[in-house]
Each structure stands twice: as structure tokens, then as C-alpha cells.
């Protein structure tokens, strides 16, 4: 079995203010969905990056998911191809925005 994904950001950041949201984030999204075995974690990372890109979300959450993608084996070449391909469907400016973040995450790699 693959490594188990565990997330506590919901409880640590919103646990007292929004306990239901924290539960859904930590236990359902990351506890159940991210640990489902139908697709591997690398593919989930790719789907998540493209979903955030399509939504125009280029904040710290996208940076986190780019870092997570890199940690789960997405290479610089793969992320460049993924962003380029997705930009054709979700918008060129979104591609530029995501490339700025991806370059930081994969900086120093040949």
C-alpha cells in the first residue's frame, strides 16, 4: 500500500472557527479522497494542479500542490508539458501565472 496522506491544516487553521469545514478538509478530502486507490498520488497531484489552474487559483494553495506534485515524482519536464497542455484549454494567462510558481518550485533543476 502507498504512503497514507495525512492533513491537519483544516484543524490547525480553522478547527475552532469552522469545525465542519476542518473535518471535511482533513478527514474527507485528504483522509478519504486522497487515500483512495483508484488513481495514484502522482496523478491526483496532476489533476489537482490542473483543477486549481483552471479555476484561476494561483495563491499559496497552488504552490503547496505544485510542491506536493514535485514530491510525488512530477518532473520539471512533466509539469512544463502539463501546464502548456492545460493552458490551451483553460487560458493562456493562467498558464503564465502557473509557470511563475512552477519555476520557483522546480528552481535549480536542470
0.75 exceeded by pTM: yes
User: Which domains are present in the chain?
Assistant: 1-38 (no CATH), 41-105 (1.20.1290.10)
**What does the pLDDT look like over 44-92, one tens digit per residue?**
999 999 999 999 999 999 999 999 999 999 999 999 999 999 999 999 9
Query: How confident is the model over 93-106, as pLDDT tens digits?
Result: 999 999 999 999 99
Three-class secondary structure assignment of the chain: CCCCCCCCHHHHHHCCCCHHHHHHHHHHHHHHHCCCCCCCHHHHHHHHHHHHHHHCCCCHHHHHHHHHHHHCCCCHHHHHHHHHHHHHHHCHHHHHHHHHHHHHHCCCCC
Average pLDDT over residues 16-39: 93
Band the pLDDT of 22: cuts 50, 70, 90: very high
Amino acid at each position: 500500500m502507498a504512503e497514507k496522506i495525512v492533513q491537519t491544516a483544516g484543524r490547525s487553521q480553522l478547527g475552532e472557527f469552522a469545525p465542519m469545514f476542518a473535518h471535511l478538509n482533513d478527514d474527507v478530502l485528504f483522509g478519504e479522497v486522497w487515500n483512495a486507490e483508484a488513481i495514484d498520488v502522482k496523478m491526483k497531484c496532476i489533476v489537482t494542479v490542473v483543477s486549481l489552474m483552471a479555476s484561476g487559483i494561483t495563491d499559496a494553495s497552488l504552490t503547496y500542490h505544485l510542491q506536493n506534485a514535485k514530491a510525488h515524482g512530477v518532473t520539471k519536464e512533466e509539469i512544463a508539458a502539463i501546464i502548456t497542455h492545460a493552458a490551451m484549454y483553460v487560458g493562456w494567462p493562467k498558464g503564465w501565472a502557473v509557470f511563475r510558481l512552477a519555476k520557483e518550485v522546480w528552481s535549480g533543476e536542470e
